[in-house]
C-alpha cells in the first residue's frame, strides 16, 4: 500500500475514534462479582447503564482482595478505573482521606438520597462529610441457611435457639449427612464467630465491643460463651471443609448433602441461581437471638478521580443507574441483598429478603459488620486468631479471649 495513503487512513481512523470517545460515556468497572448470582447482579447494573447510552468496560478480578489490589495499583499508576466495587471499610476511608475519590454531594442533594437511606448506611457512605460511595445493596452476615427437604425428612422444626440448632445438627449428622457445613477459609470462620457474638450480646453489646472497643465489654461473660459456640460449630466441619469456597459450601445445602450453613445472605443468591425457592426448598433465619440484630455489609461503588471528560460523564451516569430504585430492586432479587434505598418496593421479594428488610427497618437492630467497623488491620488480626482457634482444638477459650482483647486494645 502507498505509505502516504496508509498514514492518512490511520489519522482519519484516529480522528473518528477520538470524536467517538468525546460523545461516549465510558466507565471502567473494577469488580469481583463472578459467581453466578453475582454476575447476574452486575449485569443488572451494566444493562441499566448501557440502556442509558453508556459504554461499559468490565474489569473483573477473582476475589475482593484482588479487585482492590488491582484498583490500588491502577490509581497509583495514574490509570484509575472509573468505579471500584468495594465495601465501606478502612480502605475506603484511606482512599477518600488521600483525596483519590470523587464525591457525589451535588447529585445526592439533587436526588434527595439522604432521605431514602437509613442513617447507619448513610454514615458509612460518607467520609469527612462527603458522600464518596454509592450503595449497591445491603447484605447481612448473621444468617443461617438450611435445606428444607432435609429438615422435613428428619422431622426437624426450624431451630429457635443455639441448643435446638445443635440438636438438629446432631440428628442430621446421625443420618449420615453434614450437620453444619462450613468452608474452612479464615474469613468464613471468623464470620461464624462474629455472628455468635452478635446473637448472644445483641446490638448494644456489639456496638460497645466492636465499634467502641470498650474494655468493660471485653470482660463480659458473653465473649467466652461466643467462643464456645464457635468451637462447637467447628466440630461439625466435614473432612473436606478446609479451603472450600463459600459457594461450594452453600451448594452442599442446596443439594441436601448438608443441613445448615452460617453465611451472609449472598448465599441466598446461590440458592436462587440454582432455581430454589425460599420457604419451599430452603429456609433461613438470623442467628438465634432474643434481640433482633442485623450486622450489615454494604456493597458500594467508589469512584476514583478521573480526568477524561467522557469518563467523568460515565461516572455520573453510572451513579444515576446505581441509585435507580428499579435497578436496586433487580439486584436484590438476584443477589440476595436488601435494597439500600428504603423507598424500594420489597413486596415482590421472597420471604428471606423480606425478613431482612423488616429487621433492617427495626430501630436499633442494624449494626455495622466487623469487617467495616474495625479499624486498620484489626479485623485481619481477629481473623487470624479465629482461624487459629477453629483449627487448633488445644487452644483454650480463655487464651482465645485474652488474645482477642489484646488485639482490640492494640490500636
Partner 1 sequence: MKTWLHRQTFKPDITVAVFFGVVAIFFYGSILWTFYMSLTRSTLMPNYAVVGLDQYVKLFTNYRWLVSCLNMVIFGVLFIVGTLGFGTILAIFADRRIQAESLFRTIFLYPLAVSLIVTGLSWRWVLDPVNGLQGLMRNAGWENFTFDWLTNPDRAIYTLVIASIWHSSGLVMVIVLAGLRGVDNDLWKAIRMEGIPLWRAYLQVIFPGMRPVIASCVVLLMSEVIRGYDLVIAMTKGGPGIATEMPAKFAVDFYFARVNLGLASAASIVMLMLSLLMLLPYFYSEFRKRT
Which residues make up the interface to partner 1 (CB under 8 A)?
64-66, 68-69, 72, 76, 90-91, 94-95, 98, 100, 184-186, 238-243, 376-377, 380, 384, 387-388, 390-392
Cell 443439594 belongs to 255
Q: Which is nearer to partner 1, 90 or 225 (CB)?
A: 90
HSE-CB of 93 using CA atoms within 13 angstroms? 10
H helical segments located in 235-308: 246-254, 266-273
Nearest approach, Cβ of residue 84 and partner 1 (Å):
12
How far is it, in rounded angstroms, from Cα 336 to Cα 69?
A: 26
Residues near 108 by beta carbon (within 8 Å), at least 6 away in sequence: 114, 131
Nearest approach, Cβ of residue 239 and partner 1 (Å):
4
Nearest CA to 287 among 182, 216, 191, 184? Answer: 191
Residue 239's Cβ-count burial label (10 Å; 0-12, 13-18, 19+) is: exposed
Q: Which is nearer to partner 1, 244 or 311 (CB)?
A: 244
Cell 440484630 belongs to 293
Plot region of 388 (φ>0 → left; ψ -120 to 50 → alpha; else → beta):
alpha
Nearest approach, Cβ of residue 252 and partner 1 (Å):
11
Residue 24's Cβ-count burial label (10 Å; 0-12, 13-18, 19+) is: middle
Nearest approach, Cβ of residue 205 and partner 1 (Å):
26
Helix (H) or strand (E) holding 55: strand 54-60
Nearest approach, Cβ of residue 151 and partner 1 (Å):
24
Q: Which is nearer to partner 1, 34 or 391 (CB)?
A: 391
Nearest CA to 120 among 325, 284, 290, 342? Answer: 342
How far is it, in rounded angstroms, from Cα 198 to Cα 201?
A: 5
Q: Which is nearer to partner 1, 76 or 351 (CB)?
A: 76
Nearest approach, Cβ of residue 376 and partner 1 (Å):
7
Maximal C-alpha separation, the chain:
85
Residues in a beta bridge with 138 = 298, 338
Q: Which is nearer to partner 1, 354 or 397 (CB)?
A: 397
Nearest approach, Cβ of residue 89 and partner 1 (Å):
9
Q: Which is nearer to partner 1, 58 or 65 (CB)?
A: 65
Q: Which is nearer to partner 1, 47 or 377 (CB)?
A: 377
Q: Which is nearer to partner 1, 220 or 387 (CB)?
A: 387
Q: CB–CB of 32/61 below 8 Å? A: yes
Phi, psi of 231 (to 5 degrees): -65, -40
Using alpha carbons, list the distances in angstroms from residue 308 to 49, 79, 103, 190, 386.
18, 11, 16, 42, 45
Q: Which is nearer to partner 1, 235 or 362 (CB)?
A: 235
Nearest approach, Cβ of residue 87 and partner 1 (Å):
12
Q: Which is nearer to partner 1, 155 or 393 (CB)?
A: 393
Nearest approach, Cβ of residue 69 and partner 1 (Å):
4
H helical segments located in 98-185: 105-111, 119-125, 148-153, 162-174
Q: Which is nearer to partner 1, 30 or 320 (CB)?
A: 30
Q: CB–CB of 309/41 below 8 Å? A: no
Nearest approach, Cβ of residue 214 and partner 1 (Å):
24
Helix (H) or strand (E) holding 10: helix 3-23
Nearest approach, Cβ of residue 46 and partner 1 (Å):
26
Amino acid at each position: 500500500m502507498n505509505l502516504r495513503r496508509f498514514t492518512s487512513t490511520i489519522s482519519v481512523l484516529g480522528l473518528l475514534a477520538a470524536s467517538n470517545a468525546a460523545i461516549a460515556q465510558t466507565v471502567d468497572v473494577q469488580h469481583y462479582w463472578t459467581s453466578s448470582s453475582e454476575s447476574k447482579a452486575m449485569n443488572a447494573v451494566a444493562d441499566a447503564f448501557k440502556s442509558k447510552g453508556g459504554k461499559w468496560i468490565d474489569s473483573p478480578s477473582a476475589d475482593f482482595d484482588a479487585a482492590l489490589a488491582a484498583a490500588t495499583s491502577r490509581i497509583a499508576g495514574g490509570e484509575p478505573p472509573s468505579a471500584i466495587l468495594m465495601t465501606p471499610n478502612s480502605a475506603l476511608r484511606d482512599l477518600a482521606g488521600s483525596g483519590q475519590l470523587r464525591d457525589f454531594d451535588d447529585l445526592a442533594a439533587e436526588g434527595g438520597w439522604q432521605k431514602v437511606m437509613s442513617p447507619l448506611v448513610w454514615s458509612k457512605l460518607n467520609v469527612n462529610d462527603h458522600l464518596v460511595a454509592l450503595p449497591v445493596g445491603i447484605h447481612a452476615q448473621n444468617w443461617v441457611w438450611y435445606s428444607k427437604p432435609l429438615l422435613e425428612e428428619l422431622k426437624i422444626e426450624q431451630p429457635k435457639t443455639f441448643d435446638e440448632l445443635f440438636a438438629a445438627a446432631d440428628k442430621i449428622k446421625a443420618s449420615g449427612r453434614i450437620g453444619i457445613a462450613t468452608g474452612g477459609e479464615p474469613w468464613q470462620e471468623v464470620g461464624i464467630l462474629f455472628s455468635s457474638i452478635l446473637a448472644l450480646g445483641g446490638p448494644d453489646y456489639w456496638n460497645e465491643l466492636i465499634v467502641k472497643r470498650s474494655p468493660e465489654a471485653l470482660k463480659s461473660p458473653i465473649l467466652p460463651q461466643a467462643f464456645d459456640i464457635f468451637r462447637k460449630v467447628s466440630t461439625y466441619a466435614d473432612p473436606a471443609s478446609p479451603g472450600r469456597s463459600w459457594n461450594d459450601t452453600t451448594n452442599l445445602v442446596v443439594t441436601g448433602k448438608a443441613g445448615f450453613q452460617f453465611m451472609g445472605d449472598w448465599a441466598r443468591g446461590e440458592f436462587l441461581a440454582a432455581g430454589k425457592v425460599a420457604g419451599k426448598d430452603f429456609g433461613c433465619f438470623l442467628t438465634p437471638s432474643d434481640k433482633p440484630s442485623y450486622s450489615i455489609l454494604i456493597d458500594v461503588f467508589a469512584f476514583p478521580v478521573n480526568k477524561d471528560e467522557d469518563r467523568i460523564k460515565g461516572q455520573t451516569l453510572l451513579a444515576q443507574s446505581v441509585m435507580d430504585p428499579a435497578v436496586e430492586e433487580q439486584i436484590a432479587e438476584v443477589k440476595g441483598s436488601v435494597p439500600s434505598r428504603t423507598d424500594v418496593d420489597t413486596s415482590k421479594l421472597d420471604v428471606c429478603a423480606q425478613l431482612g428488610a423488616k429487621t433492617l427497618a427495626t430501630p436499633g437492630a442494624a449494626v455495622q459488620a466487623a469487617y467495616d467497623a474495625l479499624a486498620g488491620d484489626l479485623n485481619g488480626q481477629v481473623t487470624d486468631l479465629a482461624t487459629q482457634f477453629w483449627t487448633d482444638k488445644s487452644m483454650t477459650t480463655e487464651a482465645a479471649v485474652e488474645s482477642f482483647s489484646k488485639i482490640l486494645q492494640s490500636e
